[in-house]
């Protein structure tokens, strides 16, 4: 079973406070043109409400408890609300008995606490048995958080197993595409289209972190383009431990971050864990990227403009690029878009294809991505579905397939 991206913070607050601001994404607001005869009214709402949806109803239960204690290490304050819905069960692989071995689903308002062995934040609601693999449960949580903890901006963090647009559990293929938050008690998962539906019904968010494996895919990002402004995720199967939560929250307590700045810091501190703290990637080069979701439409247009000449390219060039392009995780169908496009372009004699390739690659790195970080030089920030064998028809039901040519290209590449 795929590992989720589990983030534990043991870094002192001073580690964050000593860092200089990262000017590369500072947004300067031009106030000179604003004319007013009265002083502005101060908005008393917190800057952010962070909504953690933590599904520990599987073999990750132990780490759900660890991460909840790490959220308490940061804690809410006047600028930041941290709320969490946490699910637990018993009898599964990795069953954990910490914190009184309680089971069911609880909602917490996360308060400051340095005891990492016990959750001390107040239980706001004890929901009993709930399905953490249900998109309706996700929608209810978001609506509850927005109603009870209003803020200027909202961040949704989905925490659990992930698998791109495919189901985590192969037994869920009959339920169409899935891909996140496997509840082993019910057997259900939340598909990315269902995630988008939940956010639409609940009022949306400003920032989304998909804290699981293989979620930085073009199909996933495009599906959520109207759900938030910025999204962060990983192309790769993730290690069990990455330090960044406390660092990011500390930044959010220092100043009112924009969604782009929040995405930047989630990626930045992810990379810092490996580059500066010697983090263990468990054998797979770590990756993390943040996307401007409002540019997803332009991205798809440029991708379609590349696909048209690419499908006219010599079969041997496409076949070799497919064979050599960077693969992520445990699924040979998930390949790096930039690496694949670059290999096709370098081997092609078509001036048009080379031009379209460069336009797509430039847009990806300069416009679509807020920041991309990877331990290797072949991970460009976003993966695409290129079948290693047979095309999976379920892919045609995704929004990116309905709106663009990528399903035609995937079907075309299945024979290469």
Has residue 35 been placed in a domain? no
| Cβ contacts of 181 within 8 Å, gap of 6 or more | 53, 55, 132, 133, 138, 158, 160, 161, 189, 190
Residues 266 and 400 in one domain: no
* Residue 86: strand pairing partners: 54, 106
Q: Say if strands 207-211 and 123-128 run parallel, antiparallel, or are unpaired.
A: unpaired
Residues 100 and 245 in one domain: yes
Residues 119 and 220 in one domain: yes
Is residue 183 within 8 A of residue 196, CB to CB? The reply is no
- Return the pLDDT at 43: 63
Look-up of token digits 């990637």? 281
Look-up of token digits 């983090």? 279
Residues 146 and 285 in one domain: yes
Residues 235 and 305 in one domain: no
- Return the pLDDT at 60: 73
Residues 189 and 337 in one domain: no
Residue ending a domain, among 256, 277, 295, is: 295
- Return the pLDDT at 167: 63
- Return the pLDDT at 181: 87
Residues 69 and 153 in one domain: yes
User: Quick one: which of 101, 373, 155, 110 has its CA closest to 264?
Assistant: 373
Cα distance between residue 185 and residue 58, in whole Å: 8
Residue ending a domain, among 295, 317, 342, is: 295
- Return the pLDDT at 284: 92
Cα distance between residue 392 and residue 108, in whole Å: 40
329 SS3 class: coil
Residues 218 and 365 in one domain: no
Low-confidence ranges of the chain (pLDDT < 70): 1-43, 167-178, 240-241, 243
Residues 131 and 209 in one domain: yes
Residue 212's domain is classified under what CATH number?
3.40.50.11970
- Return the pLDDT at 202: 98
Is the pTM value of this prediction over 0.85? yes
Has residue 196 been placed in a domain? yes
Has residue 1 been placed in a domain? no
Residues 96 and 160 in one domain: yes
Could you tell me the sign of the dihedral formed by the alpha carbons of 33, 37, 39, 40, in that order? Answer: negative
Residues 275 and 407 in one domain: no
Structurally, the chain folds into a number of domains equal to 2
Cα distance between residue 379 and residue 289, in whole Å: 10
Residue ending a domain, among 295, 321, 342, is: 295
Q: Provide the residue range defining the domain that includes 382.
A: 297-413
Residues 329 and 189 in one domain: no
Is residue 292 within 8 A of residue 188, CB to CB? The reply is no
Helix boundaries (H) for 130-191 = 135-148
């Amino acid at each position: 079973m795929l590992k989720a991206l589990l983030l534990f913070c043991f870094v002192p607050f001073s580690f964050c406070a000593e860092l200089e601001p990262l000017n590369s994404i500072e947004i300067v607001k031009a106030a000179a043109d604003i004319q007013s005869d009265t002083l502005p009214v101060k908005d008393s709402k917190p800057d952010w409400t962070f909504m953690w949806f933590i599904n520990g109803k599987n073999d990750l239960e132990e780490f759900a408890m660890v991460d909840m204690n790490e959220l308490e290490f940061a804690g809410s304050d006047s600028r930041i609300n941290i709320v969490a819905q946490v699910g637990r069960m018993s009898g599964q692989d990795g069953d954990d008995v910490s914190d009184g071995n309680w089971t069911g689903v609880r909602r917490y308002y996360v308060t400051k606490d340095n005891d990492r062995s016990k959750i001390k934040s107040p239980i706001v609601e004890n929901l009993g048995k709930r399905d953490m693999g249900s998109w309706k449960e996700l929608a209810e949580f978001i609506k509850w958080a927005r109603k009870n903890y209003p803020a200027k901006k909202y961040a949704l963090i989905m925490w659990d197993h992930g698998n791109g647009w495919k189901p985590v559990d192969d037994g869920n293929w009959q339920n169409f595409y899935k891909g996140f938050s496997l509840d082993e008690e019910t057997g259900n998962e939340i598909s990315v289209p269902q995630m988008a539906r939940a956010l639409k019904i609940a009022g949306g968010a400003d920032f989304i972190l998909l804290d699981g494996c293989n979620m930085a895919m073009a199909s996933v990002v495009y599906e959520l383009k109207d759900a938030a402004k910025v999204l962060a995720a990983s192309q790769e199967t993730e290690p069990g431990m990455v330090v960044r939560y406390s660092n990011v929250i500390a930044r959010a307590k220092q100043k009112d971050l924009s969604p782009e700045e929040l995405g930047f810091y989630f990626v930045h501190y992810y990379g810092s864990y490996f580059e500066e703290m010697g983090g263990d990637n468990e054998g797979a080069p770590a990756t993390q990227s943040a996307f401007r979701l409002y540019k997803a439409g332009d991205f798809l247009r440029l991708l379609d403009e590349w696909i048209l000449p690419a499908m006219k390219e010599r079969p041997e060039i496409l076949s070799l690029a497919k064979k050599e392009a960077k693969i992520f995780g445990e699924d040979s169908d998930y390949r790096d878009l930039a690496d694949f496009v670059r290999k096709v372009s370098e081997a092609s004699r078509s001036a048009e294809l080379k031009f379209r390739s460069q336009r797509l690659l430039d847009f990806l790195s300069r416009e679509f991505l807020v920041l991309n970080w990877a331990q290797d030089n072949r991970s460009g920030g976003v993966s695409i579905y290129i079948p290693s064998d047979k095309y999976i028809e379920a892919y045609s039901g995704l929004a990116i397939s309905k709106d663009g040519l990528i399903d035609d290209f995937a079907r075309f590449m299945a024979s290469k």
